[in-house]
């Protein structure tokens, strides 16, 4: 079999190739080597020059990638693409070739993954540390040819390992998706992931949590991270050395458990979730006429919000429903301008106040009733959900309208009262995000147990 051992140097963040080296092998015999500086058509960051020794002057007269793309493709075509951290080098080369109209989809092999299988137990599998442990001198570290030749020497040593063929063939034809796994992640961590709903954790070598996510299918969702071309995802996956997970049984519980876990650990790569708190609130105040008005504003400017929302659209929907349910005036609910007619907003019928059928006192009573309605009828109820297996069900506990926690209930248990159920409850603190999730999921498709009288839902 033929192999092309590849190493590239790039501009860093923009990932433009500045140098490429290809060392070709047939079995463990070196056939030839190729190295080429490439003009990235942009200036090099200072730290890249410091790391590699490649300067802008060195690249000034070098060909662009487009000028050498066909030659590079011909050298790689028909060879297994081998690299140390192949999931870094290969996507960049593939992207550059694609920009030149060349489709390149080779078989690939990562020498980091091979190293972990053939010489397990090392603290680091970086090229520098690995070469030092194996007694390989790198002539030209952080230059494409120097690193490619060093990787080639590792390849030759691996080829003589009695377990090489078995490990190589398994790695070359893995179970679905395994080729995309990060180099530092043990295969067994991925293989133990079930194809069920739950929460997953990415951890680094120090067992620090890097990222927390939820999934309907844990294995499938995790794999999408490893295949992502996002720079932040690639960086995160390169740090990932362990996977963990917790099954939830349902998507709703996965959402809730993910939210609670993120708020407990605040992982570095969960940036979006850190900014998910509501930013708007509904408020009430009396205007100069003595009329109680409703409206919305930034949550930080409201001391006691009637309700909290993530978007202006949610606020408008909430206020519109109050207007229609309690015949309030849209002008005094921030839905139309003060100079507009209230009948222009909905139903084309003016409100009682604008028709002078009621006075300010009666209108304000109506507004107060509407406000109180948002906090009334706060039942204690249990949302009944599927369990993690056929031997159990799961539940979400809502107490007086607020999330209290969740739990898993064995089906052989006889539960008639709150006290019976409470021993299975995982008590958690409510937050606006979870309340929003519950509002969206509380539909007829879920059975509920309502207290104080608990009954089996049909």
Rounded CA separation 283/45 (Å): 51
According to the model, what pLDDT value does residue 449 have?
A: 56
Name, in order, each residue with C-beta under 8 angstroms of 423's C-beta and a sequence gap of 6 or more.
none
Percent of the chain clearing pLDDT 70 (strictly above): 90
> Phi and psi dihedrals of 409, rounded to 5?
-120, 115
Question: Once rounded to an integer, what is the mean pLDDT over residues 9-16?
Answer: 89
Please say if the pLDDT value at position 226 is more than 60: yes
Mean predicted confidence (pLDDT) in 396-402:
83
Find out whether 269 and 210 touch, Cβ atoms under 8 Å: yes
Token look-up 């550059």 returns 96
Burial class (CB in 10 A: 0-12, 13-18, 19+), 349: exposed
Say what the pTM is. 0.52
Chain position carrying tokens 């860093």: 12
Specify whether the CB–CB gap between 110 and 86 falls below 8 A.
Answer: yes
* Residues linked to residue 395 through DSSP beta bridges, in sequence order: 384, 407
The answer, yes or no, to whether residue 259 has pLDDT greater than 90, is yes
User: What pairs with residue 295 in β-bridges?
Assistant: 283
Per the DSSP assignment, residues forming a β-bridge with 32 are: 24
Is 90 exceeded by the pLDDT of residue 140?
Answer: no
Residue-wise DSSP of 370-422: HHHHTTSS---EEEEEE-SSTTEEEEEEEETTEEEEEEEEETT----SHHHHH
Per DSSP, the chain holds a count of helices (H) and strands (E) of: 17, 16
Average pLDDT for residues 177-204, to the nearest whole number? 85
Between CA 350 and CA 356 the distance in angstroms is 10
Q: What is the average pLDDT value for the chain, to the nearest integer?
A: 86
Q: Are strands 402-410 and 392-399 parallel, antiparallel or unpaired?
A: antiparallel
Q: What is the mean pLDDT of residues 266-282?
A: 75
pLDDT tens readout for residues 194-223:
989 999 999 999 999 999 999 999 998 999
Average pLDDT score over residue span 151-176 = 82
Q: Measured in Å, how far apart are the chain's first and last C-alpha atoms?
A: 63
The predicted-structure confidence for 46-66, as pLDDT tens digits, reads as follows: 989 999 999 999 999 999 999
pLDDT digits (tens, 9 = 90+) for 285-340: 999 889 999 999 998 888 888 888 878 888 888 898 888 888 888 889 988 887 77
CA 313 to chain centre: 25
DSSP 271-286: HHHHT-S--EEEEEEE
Crossing angle of the two packed helices 164-172 and 111-118, in degrees rounded to 10: 140
* Cα 201 from Cα 165, distance rounded (Å): 33
Q: Out of 126-140, 199-213, 348-362, give the one with best mean pLDDT.
A: 199-213
Please give the backbone phi and psi of residue 174, each rounded to the nearest 5 degrees, phi first. -80, 175
Query: Reduced to 3 states, what is the DSSP secondary structure of residue 143?
Result: coil
pLDDT of residue 453: 39
Structure tokens at 394: 């799961």
d(CA 172, CA 37): 30
């Amino acid at each position: 079999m033929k192999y092309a051992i590849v190493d590239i140097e790039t501009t860093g963040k923009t990932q433009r190739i500045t140098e490429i080296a290809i060392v070709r092998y047939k079995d463990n015999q070196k056939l030839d080597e190729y190295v080429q500086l490439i003009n990235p058509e942009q200036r090099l960051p200072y730290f890249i020059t410091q790391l590699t020794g490649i300067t802008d002057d060195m690249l000034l007269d070098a060909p662009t990638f487009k000028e050498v793309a066909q030659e590079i493709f011909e050298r790689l075509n028909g060879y297994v693409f081998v690299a140390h951290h192949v999931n870094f080098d290969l996507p960049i080369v593939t992207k550059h070739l694609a920009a030149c109209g060349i489709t390149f989809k080779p078989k690939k092999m990562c020498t980091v993954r091979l190293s972990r299988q053939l010489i397990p137990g090392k603290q680091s599998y970086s090229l520098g540390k690995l070469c030092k442990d194996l007694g390989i001198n790198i002539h030209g570290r952080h230059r494409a040819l120097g690193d490619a030749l060093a990787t080639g020497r590792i390849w030759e040593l691996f080829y003589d390992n009695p377990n090489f063929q078995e490990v190589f063939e398994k790695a070359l034809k893995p179970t679905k998706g395994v080729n995309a796994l990060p180099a530092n992640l043990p295969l067994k961590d991925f293989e133990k992931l079930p194809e069920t709903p739950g929460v997953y954790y990415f951890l680094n070598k120090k067992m620090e949590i890097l990222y927390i996510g939820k999934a309907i299918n844990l294995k499938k969702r995790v794999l999408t991270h490893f295949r992502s071309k996002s720079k932040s995802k690639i960086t995160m996956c390169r740090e990932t050395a362990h996977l963990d997970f917790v099954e939830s049984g349902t998507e709703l519980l996965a959402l809730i458990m993910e939210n609670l876990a993120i708020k407990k650990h605040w992982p570095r790569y969960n940036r979006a979730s850190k900014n998910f708190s509501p930013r708007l609130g509904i408020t009430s105040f009396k205007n100069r006429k003595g009329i109680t008005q409703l409206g919305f504003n930034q949550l930080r400017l409201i001391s006691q919000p009637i309700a909290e929302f993530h978007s202006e659209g949610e606020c408008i929907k909430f206020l519109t429903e109050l207007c229609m349910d309690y015949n309030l005036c849209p002008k005094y609910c921030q839905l139309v301008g003060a100079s507009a007619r209230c009948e222009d907003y909905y139903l084309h019928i003016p409100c009682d106040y604008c028709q002078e059928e009621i006075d300010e006192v009666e209108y304000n009573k109506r507004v107060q009733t509407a406000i109180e309605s948002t906090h009334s009828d706060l039942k204690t109820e249990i949302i009944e959900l599927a369990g993690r297996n056929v031997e159990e069900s799961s539940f979400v506990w809502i107490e007086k309208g607020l999330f209290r926690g969740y739990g898993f209930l064995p089906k052989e248990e006889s539960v008639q009262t709150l006290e019976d159920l409470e021993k299975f409850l995982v008590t958690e603190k409510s937050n606006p995000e979870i309340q929003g999730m519950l509002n969206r999921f509380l539909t007829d498709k879920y059975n509920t147990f309502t207290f104080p009288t608990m009954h089996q839902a049909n």
